[in-house]
Amino acid sequence: MKIAILGYGTVGSAVVETLLKNQDLIKARCNEEIIPVIALARSLKPNALIPIVNDIDEVLEREDIDVFVELMGGIDLPFEIISKILKRKKSVVTANKALLAYHRCELEKLAQDTAFGYEASVAGGIPIIKILKEGLSANNIVSIKGILNGTSNYILSKMTEDSAKFQEVLKKAQDLGYAEADPTFDIEGFDAAHKLLILANIAYGLRVKPEDILIEGVSKVSDEDIYFAKEFEYTIKHLGIAKIKDEKIELRVHPVMLNKDKMLAKVDGVMNAISVDGDVLGESLYYGPGAGGKATASAVIADLIDIARKEKNSAIFGYLNDTSYELLNKDEIYTRYYLRLKVLDKIGVLSKITHLMSEHQISIDTFLQKPKKEKQDYSTLFFITHQTYEKNIQILTQRLREQEFVKDDVFMMRIED
Ligand code: HSE
């Protein structure tokens, strides 16, 4: 089986290296040789292990290619290219979660009996798509909660363990090949949102776009939040959450305060982990490397092996499960909240804050005023509220921002119990 790689970066080169390194084993597993014959790259790579070209037509025009592996990134261009390839009845494997978050259903429909694999798009090497489509296919999925962005988890772990500064750790994650070409996708939560939408689409048949859901990243988490979390036995994690609530689907991506004894709280570094709650099985947890060339290559090659085996399994072949589920309105999210704000340290400030809270039906569960250094005029206050609606907390944070005694921004994070 001959393959072409569209995009020869960290992942593309890892796919080729692994196919060559494990070629005997791979042949034994699918009874066929999987041969990378050509790759497309922006610039020619002198040390590449296979011929590299920078004209896409040179690759697409080759009739001898059986499978095209799309690792270019972006949305519109790969959508156009993959559509063309699938119309020619040639198989495609992609790791492109942004593309799939927008166009998975259209592409699967177009593929029909042609193989279209995308295991590598969610959680790197963890075979979570197979798990949902095959292993858990007897279950109604009650919830999915996942650490889906390795870069964010790496940053939060290093800020917690080593008191490292955000920018330094981000730079290291980029050097290690974990971060997206544009790291905003990682640190503002979009990458995790793309992955969550793919999982929610498989689990619930829900077709919504990233702009329809609540997305926040780790970029505003500070060392003060880490300090509070440690004091009160929480760990800060960035989670993608999909769950059934009142016959609707709640979807959100944001940093959370998680009780430090929860299993997801113990997942550190670039690792990903996904907890799936099924109505028959109950909770199961999947853990593994979620970013980097090798992890992604492992999932890309698993799809290639499935194609070589000509298995018409549901992980590769068309599987659409439209349902009547609707998305839960963001305002109706109901949870506990953490608030951090810097205020002038003077008489009456705390009472004004608690008054605003009671006006908006918000009750305090935990409060901490961080002792300030002698010469400072401002104090940092931390609150955890009892459960309330997102709508209430959004109005409250807006009102707090308007107060003349509040300095800087008011930071809010949700608690995941
Ligand atoms: N940038 C992604 C991450 C890579 O950090 O998880 C895998 O999709």
What pLDDT shows up at residue 311? 66
Tokens encoding 90: 């040639």
pLDDT above 80 for 154: yes
7 is in an annotated binding site: yes
**Residue 178 Cα: closest atom of ligand 1:** 5
Q: Are 132 and 226 in contact (CB under 8 A)?
A: no
Express as a percent the part of the chain with pLDDT over 70. 97
Quick one: average pLDDT of 332-341? 97
pLDDT above 90 for 149: yes
195-215 pLDDT, tens digit each:
999 999 999 988 899 999 999
- Strand 141-147 to 214-215 pairing: unpaired
59-109 pLDDT, tens digit each:
999 999 999 999 999 999 999 999 999 999 999 999 999 999 999 989 988
CA 15 distance to own-chain centroid: 21
How far is the C-alpha of 184 from the C-alpha of 205, rounded, in Å? Answer: 28
**Which of the residues 195, 237, 243, 342 is marked catalytic?**
195
What pLDDT shows up at residue 4? 98
Tell me, yes or no, if 195 is annotated catalytic: yes
What does pTM read for this prediction?
Answer: 0.94
Burial 379-417 (b: 16+ CB within 10 A, else e): bbbbbbbeebbbbbbbbbbebbeebebbeeebbbbbbbe
What pLDDT shows up at residue 315? 47
Q: From atom 7 of ligand 1, which residue's Cα is the shortest distance away?
A: 291
Q: Which amino acid is at 107?
A: L
How far is the C-alpha of 59 from the C-alpha of 366, rounded, in Å? Answer: 60
pLDDT above 80 for 322: no
**295 CA distance to ligand 1 middle (Å):** 10
- Can you tell me whether residue 349 is helix, strand or coil? helix
What pLDDT shows up at residue 370? 86
What pLDDT shows up at residue 377? 87
Confidence of residue 318 (pLDDT cuts 50, 70, 90): very low
CA 180 distance to own-chain centroid: 11
**Of the candidates 242, 259, 274, 300, the residue with the CA atom closest to the CA atom of residue 97:** 300
Q: Which residue reads 């963890």 in tokens?
A: 126
Quick one: average pLDDT of 236-265? 96
Select the CATH number that applies to the domain covering 129-289 from these four: 3.40.50.10480, 3.30.360.10, 3.30.1490.20, 3.40.50.720: 3.30.360.10
Sheet holding 2-6, edge to edge: 52-53, 35-40, 2-6, 67-70, 91-94, 116-117
With a 6 Å cutoff on the Cβ, whether 291 touches ligand 1 is: yes
pLDDT above 70 for 320: no
- Can you tell me whether residue 289 is helix, strand or coil? strand
- In CATH terms, the fold of domain 330-416 is Alpha-Beta Plaits (3.30.70)
6 is in an annotated binding site: yes
Superfamily assignment of 2-126 in CATH?
Answer: NAD(P)-binding Rossmann-like Domain (3.40.50.720)
For the chain, the average pLDDT equals 93
368-412 pLDDT, tens digit each:
998 887 788 899 999 999 999 999 999 999 999 999 999 989 999
Q: Are 12 and 48 in contact (CB under 8 A)?
A: no
With a 6 Å cutoff on the Cβ, whether 186 touches ligand 1 is: yes
Tokens encoding 287: 């853990």
Domains of the chain, by residue range, sit at 2-126, 129-289, 330-416
Q: Are 316 and 306 in contact (CB under 8 A)?
A: yes
Instruction: List, as one string, the DSSP characters of 50-70.
Output: S-EES-HHHHHT-TT--EEEE
Q: Are 123 and 173 in contact (CB under 8 A)?
A: no
How far is the C-alpha of 373 from the C-alpha of 62, rounded, in Å? Answer: 69
